[in-house]
A and B are shown apart, each in its own frame.
Chain A
Amino acid sequence: AQSVAQPEDQVNVAEGNPLTVKCTYSVSGNPYLFWYVQYPNRGLQFLLKYITGDNLVKGSYGFEAEFNKSQTSFHLKKPSALVSDSALYFCAVRPSNDYKLSFGAGTTVTVRA
């Protein structure tokens, strides 16, 4: 069975500062890793994914994430946060040979002006 941990319930940063949202995972076999963002009263929007290849993946809205196999981590990053990045962020994982996608509990990001 796979699982995802997002160790921080909340992350607070000032606008213009770097933003990091942490994620670690546990899975049998090769992982497919994803980040999603949810704005209030909306569904989840896909940000980026790691399937294979380069450990640094780039996604929507200037976000990127780094896959670290030895640390089983997939942290989300943005070099310069915007107030509009304030939202709920979810990390998710599924084994490459399975249909089921498992989510972390989510991290609320607040970017203050």
Chain B
Amino acid sequence: DAGITQSPRHKVTETGTPVTLRCHQTENHRYMYWYRQDPGHGLRLIHYSYGVKDTDKGEVSDGYSVSRSKTEDFLLTLESATSSQTSVYFCAIRGQGEGSPLHFGNGTRLTVT
């Protein structure tokens, strides 16, 4: 799957705890994205990165932060998990070619109890 690994694949955590999801790519792509998928909403962009240490907010960024200290890794942190953040989280990467599509990882299913 385009050299993208998400970890963990599944996680159950309690309300109020911090959680970090990791996305690792072996494609050396510049652009990386975090989306969440919820029924009836499709995929919604949380944060994205256009280079090392260059990140920006998406449409549902409240309660989330990201870091990208090297090209291959893009971390998503839920600062204090809430039940509304129970979701499936997808990482995606994109090359620099004009109109290059996103390629997605297999997702992380997060449950906040």
Q: Which residue of A lies closest to B106 (CB)?
A: A43
B-side interface size class: 20 to 34
Interface string of A93-113 (1 = CB under 8 A from B): 000100111111110000000
Whether B42 pairs with A49 at a CB distance below 8 angstroms is no
Residue of B40, B44, B59, B104 near A43 (CB, 8 A) is B104
Interface string of B78-113 (1 = CB under 8 A from A): 000000000000101000001101111111000000
Compute how far the CA of A46 lies from the CA of B50 in the bound complex, rounded to whole angstroms: 21
CB within 8 Å for A43 and B42 given contacts A51-B99, A100-B58: no
Compute how far the CA of A46 lies from the CA of B35 in the bound complex, rounded to whole angstroms: 16
Residue of B1, B35, B40, B105 near A105 (CB, 8 A) is B40
Which residues from A are CB-within-8-Å of B98?
51
A-side interface size class: 20 to 34
Whether A44 pairs with B104 at a CB distance below 8 angstroms is yes
Which residues from B are CB-within-8-Å of A52?
99
Whether A99 pairs with B48 at a CB distance below 8 angstroms is yes
Whether B42 pairs with A101 at a CB distance below 8 angstroms is no
CB within 8 Å for A32 and B99 given contacts A90-B42, A100-B48, A101-B33: yes
Whether A34 pairs with B45 at a CB distance below 8 angstroms is no
CB within 8 Å for A43 and B99 given contacts A90-B42, A105-B41: no
Whether A103 pairs with B48 at a CB distance below 8 angstroms is no
Which residues from B are CB-within-8-Å of A45?
104
Residues of A that sit less than 8 Å from B by CB:
4, 6, 32, 34, 36, 42-46, 49, 51-52, 90, 96, 99-106
